[in-house]
Amino acid sequence: MATQDRSSQKLPQAAKPAAEGEPHLPMGRELTEAHRFAYAALCGVSLAQLFPEPEQRPFCTEFVAGLVKWLDLSEAVLPTMTAFASGLGGEGADMFAQILLKDPILKDDPLMITQDLLSFSLKDGRYDARARVLVCHVTSLLRVPLEELDLLEETFLESLKESKEEESETAEASRKKKENRRKWKRYLLIGLATVGGGTVIGVTGGLAAPLVAAGAATIIGSAGAAALGSVAGIAVMTSLFGAAGAGLTGYKMKKRVGAIEEFTFLPLSEGRQLHITIAITGWLASGKYRTFSAPWAALARSREQYCLAWEAKYLMELGNALETILSGLANMVAQEALKYTVLSGIVAALTWPASLLSVANVIDNPWGVCLHRSAEVGKHLAHILLSRQQGRRPVTLIGFSLGARVIYFCLQEMEQEKDCQGIIEDVVLLGAPVEGEAKHWEPFRKVVSGRIINGYCRGDWLLSFVYRTSSVQLRVAGLQPVLLQDRRVENVDLTSVVSGHLDYAKQMDIILKAVGIRTKPSWDGKGLSLAPGSLPHEEPHQAAATSSDKTTNQDGQTQGPASRDTPKAAASPDPSQDQVPTGLDQSEGASLPAAASPAKSSHICSHGVGPNPLGCPNCTSETQEPCPGLD
Per CB under 8 A, 91 contacts other proteins: yes
Stretch that binds other proteins, among 87-95, 168-176, 183-191, 258-266 (CB under 8 A): 87-95
Among residues 71, 77, 318, 447, which is the contact residue for other proteins, using CB under 8 A?
77
Per CB under 8 A, 84 contacts other proteins: yes
Per CB under 8 A, 581 contacts other proteins: no
Stretch that binds other proteins, among 179-187, 359-367, 387-395, 490-498 (CB under 8 A): 490-498
Helix (H, G, I), strand (E, B) or coil at 435: strand
Radius of gyration of the chain (CA): 25
Q: Nearer Cβ to other proteins, position 283 or 441? A: 441
Residues touching other proteins: how many (CB under 8 A)? Answer: 43
> Do residues 128 and 394 touch, judged by C-beta distance below 8 A?
yes
Q: Nearer Cβ to other proteins, position 117 or 284? A: 117
Among residues 89, 224, 271, 295, which is the contact residue for other proteins, using CB under 8 A?
89
Per CB under 8 A, 80 contacts other proteins: yes
Query: From CA 250, how far away is CA 351, in angstroms rounded?
Result: 32
Per CB under 8 A, 496 contacts other proteins: yes
431: left (phi over 0), alpha (psi -120 to 50) or beta: left
Strand 276-280 to 395-400 pairing: parallel
Per CB under 8 A, 573 contacts other proteins: no
305 bridge partner residues:
277
Residues 433-462 contacting other proteins, CB under 8 A: none
Q: Nearer Cβ to other proteins, position 193 or 544? A: 544
> Do residues 546 and 497 touch, judged by C-beta distance below 8 A?
no
Among residues 6, 58, 62, 90, which is the contact residue for other proteins, using CB under 8 A?
90
Residues 511-570 contacting other proteins, CB under 8 A: 513-516, 550, 554
Among residues 117, 482, 497, 616, which is the contact residue for other proteins, using CB under 8 A?
497
Per CB under 8 A, 471 contacts other proteins: no
CB of 469 vs other proteins, minimal distance in Å? 33
Q: Give the list of residues 6+ apart from residue 162 with CB closer than 8 angstroms, or none.
A: none
Among residues 43, 47, 92, 605, which is the contact residue for other proteins, using CB under 8 A?
92
Work out the end-to-end distance of the chain between its first and last CA atoms, rounded to an integer number of angstroms.
Answer: 27
Per CB under 8 A, 136 contacts other proteins: no
Tell me whether residue 231 is exposed, middle or buried, using C-beta atoms within 10 angstroms of its C-beta: 0 to 12, 13 to 18, 19 or more. Answer: exposed
CB of 76 vs other proteins, minimal distance in Å? 6
| Residue 264 amino acid letter | T
Per CB under 8 A, 79 contacts other proteins: yes
- Give buried/exposed letters for 118-157 (b at 16+ CB in 10 A, else e): bbbbbeebbbbbbbbbbbbbbbebbebeeeebbebbbbbb
Per CB under 8 A, 73 contacts other proteins: yes
Per CB under 8 A, 631 contacts other proteins: yes
CA of 221: how far to CAs of 52, 182, 208, 226, in Å?
Answer: 38, 10, 13, 9
Per CB under 8 A, 238 contacts other proteins: no
Backbone angles phi, psi at 480, to 5 degrees: -160, 165
Tell me whether residue 530 is exposed, middle or buried, using C-beta atoms within 10 angstroms of its C-beta: 0 to 12, 13 to 18, 19 or more. Answer: buried
395-400 sheet: strands from edge to edge: 263-267, 304-310, 276-280, 395-400, 424-430, 452-456, 489-493
Among residues 2, 88, 146, 234, which is the contact residue for other proteins, using CB under 8 A?
88
CB of 448 vs other proteins, minimal distance in Å? 16
Per CB under 8 A, 430 contacts other proteins: no
> Do residues 281 and 394 touch, judged by C-beta distance below 8 A?
no
Lay out the site mask for other proteins across 15-54 (x = CB under 8 A, - = otherwise): -----------------xxxx-xx--x-------------
Among residues 322, 432, 492, 545, which is the contact residue for other proteins, using CB under 8 A?
492
CB of 331 vs other proteins, minimal distance in Å? 24
| Residue 293 CB neighbours (<10 A) | 24
> Do residues 457 and 477 touch, judged by C-beta distance below 8 A?
no
Per CB under 8 A, 143 contacts other proteins: no
Per CB under 8 A, 105 contacts other proteins: no
Residues that bind other proteins (CB under 8 A): 32-35, 37-38, 41, 73-74, 76-77, 79-80, 83-84, 88-92, 95-96, 98-99, 102, 487, 490-493, 496-497, 510, 513-516, 550, 554, 627-628, 630-631
